[in-house]
Structure 1
């Protein structure tokens, strides 16, 4: 045992030394961004007066007493997320109507003025506590647009909004992600607000430096450019943010969808989508919950394209996730587990045309994303080959870059051994944190991956193969 511990220690030191030997390329993720990317799949909960008025965007004039869930159970939300294989929840604490799910002292349009619990309730407290109980990370959406606040559109409002952020960060524990959108319409006085985004960002960082901030341009992670849960087939984790702002002054959706090669800032994509047609619960959508096949398609188009997946599962008017939605989430988890249950590449003998000293190609098929292989600095188009003693049949190929050192791969080709010759089955672009290719059933004893273009020597952590069952 002592010998094994010493050996493990030496290998860890060796890996650290090799990482130092490889020069990082371009913009790099922070530790918080790396941890965020590993979450991959988490829950959005959009809930508020609109749930009861059957609107998507409230106008701020609704009577707060309309908010009155009869069975609200944040532990049910958290338990559902946990059992669905999700690792975090982001709650909409204030939407554009200005209604706060917590008794903010900076608003008169909150749960304090509602009929729920005679004004003594705090949804934000209940979900924060439930996330802690179930081991989930906790995030908050707070809309800067406020259609109820009389201060909106005045010089004071930015300070009021920052005060509300301070209130949340002081009172509700660690927040892994702060969600901002750029919606900016008129307030009750008919005026629009000039948002002080830098002030808002610094308010968050002053409280919790490790929080990942979402907006059109980050700075922690970016909107993917649509609400379909679909990242670009080419997707860089880098973009140029200088001169842009969230909202109307953001980069074009097409740019947000695929990122920018050699962008100056590391701002990876987050793909947001709802399990129902709308963001808020509506009885009219009870028979329109997305199918498992559709959710898998979204998963492959988001997590499988170097993006995280934020899936909205709205609470109903009782304050519960409906049974249909919960069941679909469990089916979705079961399907993912069936697809990725057995990594066929673990049985492969891995070789490479070129390898960096002491970094073995076998690391690519060890099932451990923290180990990696790299080619020498002078080689940007190496060839990786997996050979199998017995033929394997697969239809999913998963690739990962070691993104702590930057995103490098620009294009790659996949070939399989077919009657003694290699046949191309895929020719794709970026990899990033994770790339999953959907392929026809393919039986082979040999797989060859050629990096055809790269910004610097490729650094890859995983090559995995799976045989997904038919739907």
Structure 2
């Protein structure tokens, strides 16, 4: 079952990655570590604009690449001179990590950090003991100087140092430091709390299990499998051989420990992770983003979408417009369930605290379940009148574990016969079931297979208020606070 930090992370569902460093100014994806800090000089940088763009899309948090593989630090670290303090930005007095953390707090987003284990600039890299001490010193700075942190995001990129030796990362000591200083933070990808979906292309498994074999915690740390060159192939690689990580058949064959290790789907709004002017016309379409959202958030995973600021230090207008369109669509579609006030009955109920009507309440800790040992069950929802809908959202009570293994949705059509709308496997935190628009008054969920007994905390019925292109063109604009100008301190 999930820890409290994993539960809080799962509830966030959708948040941003911000890749911004030397590569933005050299038009590269990977730096060498030899870049001159003088080139880091964004003219109109506004962390508030980044936060506003994220909020317009409905995001809940932001993870900043505080240091990428080139080793350039976006904060004035006292352990290296390769930082913003050596740049002309803010006349050498700037601290971008602080500006972003403050903007997130002001705007109501949670703040997270990415710190690259690979550092092409640091001379101690490859001298494993020395570099691990250096890395932990920088990690301590980030964990103690910038307020609450919801996530520490690591990848396993690994290479040779100036001494020609491959660096050996001391992951356990990194984790211990994070647990000591920021116990509320999940440690993601190369970490024990959140699992990488396995690709950077936005591809998701049909069945994304949160309960998986424990050895998967080490997958991204294996040096031979880590990313070692910037060849563009790694970002689009999809590993199909591990399409099933946690079905009953898989775990029955596994003799080792099982763990709660939920998945995160990460991809970029553009082909690259850093800004390139040549990609201004290659921003993902609304349809592409919605497909990834439905597969990730609607497939028991969280969605981490990268937004690369340009050389001005702003999210580009093309990206801002697409984020606004995405947020408009999500807000209009999921504003209110058509099932509010409906009548509902179940095949079985465990007790009075877990009756079927609990699935219509928005409180996360209320849920329906049948008697223990009842692995097959059904719920029937009768609306006040016939309504047209094209998606149903299901949520398990994952505090009790992930239980549902196979289900179907049906509705009574005009003929009075049950017609199948959707069949699926897992539900987990959330399953978005999309299908062709259908008009009906009665909807039935049948859970055919589950582990011991199923739970369900939410059943929502929705209709897309307009087609995607109408959502893209609508004039409604997200309003929270005006996007502030880019002057420092305003």
Instruction: Pick from 388, 395, 399 the counterpart of residue 393 of structure 1.
Output: 388
Q: Distance in 2 between matches of 1:392 and 1:245?
A: 47
Deviation at 1:163, TM superposition (A): 1.0
Q: Distance in 1 between matches of 2:180 and 2:30?
A: 31
Instruction: Pick from 155, 168, 174 the counterpart of residue 148 of structure 2.
Output: 174
- The equivalent of 2:416 in structure 1 is 420
- The equivalent of 1:450 in structure 2 is 446
Deviation at 1:257, TM superposition (A): 6.3
Instruction: Pick from 134, 141, 165 the counterpart of residue 139 of structure 2.
Output: 165
Instruction: Pick from 246, 267, 288 the counterpart of residue 260 of structure 1.
Output: 246
Q: Distance in 1 between matches of 2:467 and 2:107?
A: 33
- The equivalent of 1:360 in structure 2 is 355
Q: Distance in 1 between matches of 2:115 and 2:317?
A: 27
State whether residues 224 and 253 of structure 1, in contact with CA within 8 Å, keep that contact through their aligned partners in structure 2.
no
- The equivalent of 1:23 in structure 2 is none
Q: Does 1:151 align with 2:124?
A: yes
- The equivalent of 1:429 in structure 2 is 425
State whether residues 223 and 256 of structure 1, in contact with CA within 8 Å, keep that contact through their aligned partners in structure 2.
no
Instruction: Pick from 388, 403, 415 the counterpart of residue 408 of structure 1.
Output: 403
Q: Distance in 1 between matches of 2:320 and 2:243?
A: 29
- The equivalent of 1:78 in structure 2 is 51
Q: Does 1:45 align with 2:18?
A: yes
Deviations 1:162-196 (CA, angstroms, capped at 9, x unpaired): 11111111111111100000011223333221111
SS of the residue 1:233 aligns to: coil
State whether residues 231 and 269 of structure 1, in contact with CA within 8 Å, keep that contact through their aligned partners in structure 2.
no
SS of the residue 2:402 aligns to: coil
Deviation at 1:245, TM superposition (A): 4.6
State whether residues 76 and 83 of structure 2, in contact with CA within 8 Å, keep that contact through their aligned partners in structure 1.
yes
Where structure 1 has 5 or more consecutive residues not aligned to the other structure, the ranges are 1-27
TM-score (normalizing by structure 2):
0.87
Deviations 1:66-121 (CA, angstroms, capped at 9, x unpaired): 11111111122122222332111100001111111111112222112222223221
Moved more, 428-437 or 98-107: 98-107
Q: 1:360 to 1:78 in 2, by over 3 A?
A: same
Deviations 1:120-165 (CA, angstroms, capped at 9, x unpaired): 2111111111111112111000010111110001021111111111
Where structure 2 has 5 or more consecutive residues not aligned to the other structure, the ranges are 227-237, 252-256, 469-490
- The equivalent of 1:11 in structure 2 is none
- The equivalent of 2:38 in structure 1 is 65
TM-score (normalizing by structure 1):
0.90
State whether residues 231 and 257 of structure 1, in contact with CA within 8 Å, keep that contact through their aligned partners in structure 2.
no
State whether residues 395 and 428 of structure 2, in contact with CA within 8 Å, keep that contact through their aligned partners in structure 1.
yes
Deviation at 1:378, TM superposition (A): 2.2
Q: Distance in 1 between matches of 2:85 and 2:244?
A: 43
State whether residues 148 and 188 of structure 1, in contact with CA within 8 Å, keep that contact through their aligned partners in structure 2.
no
Moved more, 261-270 or 300-309: 261-270
Q: 1:256 to 1:329 in 2, by over 3 A?
A: farther
Q: Distance in 1 between matches of 2:71 and 2:163?
A: 14
Deviation at 1:432, TM superposition (A): 0.3
Q: 1:95 to 1:257 in 2, by over 3 A?
A: farther
Q: 1:226 to 1:346 in 2, by over 3 A?
A: same
Deviation at 1:445, TM superposition (A): 2.1
Aligned length: 443
